[in-house]
Structure 1
Amino acid sequence: MHVSVAIALALLLSGSPVSAQTHPVQSADDITRYTGDFLVEPVSPAATVYARTNGLELYLDNGLIRRTFRLTPNAATVALDNLATNETLLRAVRPEAEVTINGTRYAVGGLTGQPNHAYLTDDWLAHMTADPEAMRFVGYEVGRPEARLDWKRARHCSPTAVWPPQGVHLRMDYQIPSTDESADAGVGISVHYEMYDGVPVLSKWFTVTNETEQPITVDSFTAEILAVVEQESWVGVRQASDYPVPQCLHIETDYSFGGMTPATASSRAVHWVADPQYSSQVNYQRIMPCLLRVEPELGPGQIVEPGTQFESFRVFELVYDTSDRERRGLALRRMYRTIAPWVTENPLMHHMRVADPAEVRRAIDQAAEVGFEMVILSFGSGFNIESRDPAVIAQWAELAAYARNKGIDLGGYSLLASRRISDTHDVVMPEGVQPMFGNSPCIGSEWGINYFNTLHEFFESTGYTILEHDGSYPGDECTSELHPGHIGHADSRWNQWRTITDFYKWCRSRGISLNVPDYYYLSGSTKNGMGYREVNWSLPRAQQVIHTRQNIYDGTWTKTPSMGWMFVPLTEYHGGGAAATIEPLDAHLDHYQRMMRSNLALGVQACYRGPRLFDTQRTREMVTREVSWYKRYREILESDIVHGRRADGRHVDWMLHVNPFPSTPEQPRGMLVAFNPLTQPVTTTLHVNLYYTGLKDTAHISIEGHEPTEAVLSRDYTVDIEMTVPAEGMTWATISE
Structure 2
Amino acid sequence: MKRSIRAIITVLVAMCPFAGSQAQRINMDNLPVYNQQALRSKTDWLITGNAQKSAIYKTPEGHMVLSNGLVSRTFTINPNGATIGLDNLITNEALVRAVSPEAVIWVNGQEINVGGLTGQPIGNYLLPEWISGMKADPYSLKLKSYTSSPIKERFEWNRRTEWSSQQLAWPPKGIEVAFTYRADEAMVNNFKNLRAQDSQREVLLKDDFIKLSPEWNIVSSHTLSNAFNNEGKAGEILAPSNAVVFGERALPEQTRVIICKLNSGTDVSSGYGPGVALQFAGDKSFKFHLSPANKRFRIFHDGKSEDFEGFDNGKSYFLKILLAGTMGGGKMICSVSEDGHNYKVLSEMAATGFPTHIRVGKTDPRGAKTKSNGADGAVGRGKIEQLLLLGEHKGADTNFDFLANLKVKVHYELYDGLPLISKWVSVENEGKVEFVVNNIKSEHLAVTEAESAVEHKQRWELPPIFAESDFAFGSMSPNAAQNACVEWKVDSSYTTQVNYALQTPSLLVCMPKTGMGQELGAGASFESMRLWELIYDSYDRERRGLSERKMYRTIAPWVTENPVIMHVSSAKDQPVKAAIDQCAEVGFEMVIMTFGSGFNLENTSPENLQRMKELKDYAKSKGIAIGGYSLLASRAISKENDVVMPAGKKPAFGNSPCLESEWGKDYFKKLYNFYETTGHDLLEHDGSYPGDVCASTTHPGHRGLEDSRWKQFGEIQKFYQWCRGKGIYLNIPDWYFLNGGTKIAMGYRETNWSLPREQQEIIERQNIYDGTWEKAPSMGWMFVPLVEYHGGGAAATIEPLKEHLPHYEQRLANLFGAGVQACYRGPQLYDAPETKAVVKKWVDFYKKHRRVLDSDIIHIRRPDGRDYDAIMHVDPQGKEKGLLMIYNPLNEPITREIDLDLYYTGLQKEVSILENDGKAKKVTLNGSKMTLKTTIPAKSQKWFVFAQ
Which TM-score band (shorter chain)?
Answer: over 0.9
Q: Which AA in structure 2 matches 1:431? A: A
CA distance in 2, matches of 1:29, 1:252: 27
- Which of 616-625 and 651-660 deviates more? 616-625
Match of 1:131 in 2: 137
What secondary structure is seen at the aligned counterpart in 2 of 1:490?
helix
Match of 2:181 in 1: 174
Match of 1:382 in 2: 598
Match of 1:683 in 2: 895
| Aligned partners of 2:448 and 2:463 also within 8 Å | no
- Residue from 913, 936, 942 that aligns with 1:725: 936
CA distance in 2, matches of 1:129, 1:673: 60
Cα 1:22–1:456 change in 2 (3 A) is farther
Q: Once the 2 structures are TM-superposed, how far is the Cα of residue 389 of structure 1 from its aligned partner?
A: 1.2
Indicate yes or no: 2:534 matched with 1:318: yes
CA distance in 2, matches of 1:661, 1:13: 30
| Aligned partners of 2:444 and 2:509 also within 8 Å | yes
**What pairs up with 1:197-276 in 2 under 5 angstroms?**
197-238=416-457, 242-276=458-492
Q: Once the 2 structures are TM-superposed, how far is the Cα of residue 576 of structure 1 from its aligned partner?
A: 0.7
Indicate yes or no: 2:358 matched with 1:147: no
Indicate yes or no: 2:429 matched with 1:429: no
Q: Once the 2 structures are TM-superposed, how far is the Cα of residue 30 of structure 1 from its aligned partner?
A: 7.3
| Aligned partners of 1:245 and 1:272 also within 8 Å | no
Q: Once the 2 structures are TM-superposed, how far is the Cα of residue 622 of structure 1 from its aligned partner?
A: 1.2
Match of 1:183 in 2: 401
Indicate yes or no: 2:835 matched with 1:619: yes
Cα 1:44–1:346 change in 2 (3 A) is closer
Alignment: residue pair count: 718
Q: Once the 2 structures are TM-superposed, how far is the Cα of residue 266 of structure 1 from its aligned partner?
A: 2.8
| Aligned partners of 1:370 and 1:627 also within 8 Å | yes
CA distance in 2, matches of 1:463, 1:290: 49
CA distance in 1, matches of 2:925, 2:916: 21
What secondary structure is seen at the aligned counterpart in 2 of 1:338?
helix
What secondary structure is seen at the aligned counterpart in 2 of 1:669?
strand
Q: Which AA in structure 2 matches 1:575? A: G
**What pairs up with 1:599-638 in 2 under 5 angstroms?**
599-638=815-854
What secondary structure is seen at the aligned counterpart in 1 of 2:753?
helix
Match of 2:357 in 1: none
- Residue from 918, 926, 930 that aligns with 1:714: 926
Identity %: 47
Q: Once the 2 structures are TM-superposed, how far is the Cα of residue 356 of structure 1 from its aligned partner?
A: 1.1
Match of 1:156 in 2: 163
Indicate yes or no: 2:912 matched with 1:696: no
**What pairs up with 1:299-378 in 2 under 5 angstroms?**
299-378=515-594
CA distance in 1, matches of 2:463, 2:860: 24
Larger radius of gyration: 2
- Which of 36-45 and 724-733 deviates more? 36-45
Cα 1:591–1:191 change in 2 (3 A) is same
Q: Once the 2 structures are TM-superposed, how far is the Cα of residue 104 of structure 1 from its aligned partner?
A: 1.5
CA distance in 2, matches of 1:546, 1:457: 43
Higher-strand-fraction structure: 2
**What pairs up with 1:467-486 in 2 under 5 angstroms?**
467-486=683-702
Q: Once the 2 structures are TM-superposed, how far is the Cα of residue 630 of structure 1 from its aligned partner?
A: 0.7
- Residue from 785, 791, 794 that aligns with 1:575: 791
Q: Deviations over 1:474-517 (max 9, x none)?
A: 00000000100111111000000000010000000000000000
Cα 1:272–1:19 change in 2 (3 A) is closer
Match of 2:126 in 1: 120
Q: Once the 2 structures are TM-superposed, how far is the Cα of residue 362 of structure 1 from its aligned partner?
A: 0.8
Q: Which AA in structure 2 matches 1:258? A: G
Cα 1:600–1:117 change in 2 (3 A) is same
Q: Which AA in structure 2 matches 1:501? A: Q
CA distance in 1, matches of 2:70, 2:891: 49
What secondary structure is seen at the aligned counterpart in 1 of 2:841?
helix
CA distance in 2, matches of 1:67, 1:696: 34
Q: Deviations over 1:527-567 (max 9, x none)?
A: 01000111010111010000000000000000000000000
What secondary structure is seen at the aligned counterpart in 2 of 1:498?
helix
Indicate yes or no: 2:703 matched with 1:487: yes
| Aligned partners of 1:34 and 1:43 also within 8 Å | no
CA distance in 2, matches of 1:551, 1:30: 43
Q: Which AA in structure 2 matches 1:669? A: K
> Gaps (5+ residues) in structure 1?
1-10
What secondary structure is seen at the aligned counterpart in 2 of 1:313?
coil
CA distance in 1, matches of 2:39, 2:538: 22
Superposition RMSD on alpha carbons, in Å? Answer: 1.7
- Which of 105-114 and 18-27 deviates more? 18-27
| Aligned partners of 1:43 and 1:197 also within 8 Å | no
CA distance in 1, matches of 2:831, 2:717: 40
> Gaps (5+ residues) in structure 2?
1-14, 190-399
- Residue from 100, 109, 112 that aligns with 1:106: 112
| Aligned partners of 1:229 and 1:246 also within 8 Å | no
Q: Once the 2 structures are TM-superposed, how far is the Cα of residue 102 of structure 1 from its aligned partner?
A: 1.4
Indicate yes or no: 2:44 matched with 1:37: yes
Q: Once the 2 structures are TM-superposed, how far is the Cα of residue 299 of structure 1 from its aligned partner?
A: 1.6
| Aligned partners of 2:55 and 2:175 also within 8 Å | yes
Q: Deviations over 1:216-274 (max 9, x none)?
A: 11011101011011121100145xxx241523000010000000111244322011111
- Residue from 429, 435, 458 that aligns with 2:674: 458
Higher-helix-fraction structure: 1
| Aligned partners of 1:23 and 1:49 also within 8 Å | no
| Aligned partners of 2:447 and 2:463 also within 8 Å | no
Cα 1:430–1:245 change in 2 (3 A) is farther
CA distance in 2, matches of 1:20, 1:34: 26
- Residue from 84, 91, 101 that aligns with 1:95: 101
CA distance in 1, matches of 2:110, 2:16: 33
- Residue from 654, 660, 669 that aligns with 2:881: 669
Q: Deviations over 1:201-221 (max 9, x none)?
A: 111001001101111110111
| Aligned partners of 2:39 and 2:68 also within 8 Å | no
- Which of 519-528 and 278-287 deviates more? 278-287
| Aligned partners of 1:274 and 1:291 also within 8 Å | yes
What secondary structure is seen at the aligned counterpart in 1 of 2:610?
helix
Match of 1:4 in 2: none
CA distance in 2, matches of 1:619, 1:27: 64
Q: Deviations over 1:123-158 (max 9, x none)?
A: 211100001110000111111001001110124213
Q: Once the 2 structures are TM-superposed, how far is the Cα of residue 53 of structure 1 from its aligned partner?
A: 6.1
Q: Which AA in structure 2 matches 1:727? A: A
Q: Which AA in structure 1 matches 2:852? A: I
| Aligned partners of 1:139 and 1:172 also within 8 Å | yes
| Aligned partners of 1:565 and 1:605 also within 8 Å | yes
Q: Once the 2 structures are TM-superposed, how far is the Cα of residue 685 of structure 1 from its aligned partner?
A: 1.8
The alignment's TM-score, normalised by the length of structure 2, stands at: 0.74
Match of 2:31 in 1: 24
- Which of 156-165 and 284-293 deviates more? 156-165
CA distance in 2, matches of 1:332, 1:27: 28
| Aligned partners of 2:765 and 2:863 also within 8 Å | yes
CA distance in 2, matches of 1:26, 1:559: 39
- Residue from 854, 861, 870 that aligns with 1:645: 861
CA distance in 2, matches of 1:669, 1:216: 56
Q: Once the 2 structures are TM-superposed, how far is the Cα of residue 18 of structure 1 from its aligned partner?
A: 3.6
The alignment's TM-score, normalised by the length of structure 1, stands at: 0.95
Indicate yes or no: 2:776 matched with 1:560: yes
Q: Which AA in structure 1 matches 2:595? A: F
| Aligned partners of 1:194 and 1:203 also within 8 Å | yes
| Aligned partners of 1:25 and 1:31 also within 8 Å | no
Match of 2:264 in 1: none
Q: Once the 2 structures are TM-superposed, how far is the Cα of residue 31 of structure 1 from its aligned partner?
A: 5.1
Q: Which AA in structure 1 matches 2:895? A: T
CA distance in 1, matches of 2:884, 2:573: 42
Q: Which AA in structure 1 matches 2:554? A: T
